[in-house]
A = this chain, B = another copy of it.
Amino acid sequence: MALFHVRMDVDIPRDLDPAVREETITRERAYSQELQRQGKWAHLWRIVGQYSNISIFDVDSADELHEILWNLPLFPYMTVEVMPLTKHGSSIR
């Protein structure tokens, strides 16, 4: 398994059609929740005061992570930063 730290900053253009906006956000939520249920999107937190999240992905490979991120409904409006993680020597898990 491969562990990744991902930060997503969302910036939806103000002139996006409101119906498209709503539909995209709804699809994003369903997409995210399905991946959470599969255990691939292991953690998802909101950064206080920002339209941004910190996520931990637990996937088979970086290739799988890329597929997941590239297909996020909000991907065209996101800035995404990816950082590979590994087990810490002091972790008790």
Contact = CB atoms under 8 A, between A and B. Distances in A.
B86 A69 contact: no
B44 A91 contact: yes
Nearest to A37: B92
Copies of this subunit:
10
Contact of A61 (B2, B37, B53, B69): B2
Interface residues of A, number: 46
A93 B41 CA distance: 11
B33 A48 contact: no
Interface of A: 2-6, 13-14, 28-29, 32-33, 36-37, 43-50, 53-54, 56, 61-63, 65-66, 69-70, 76, 80-93
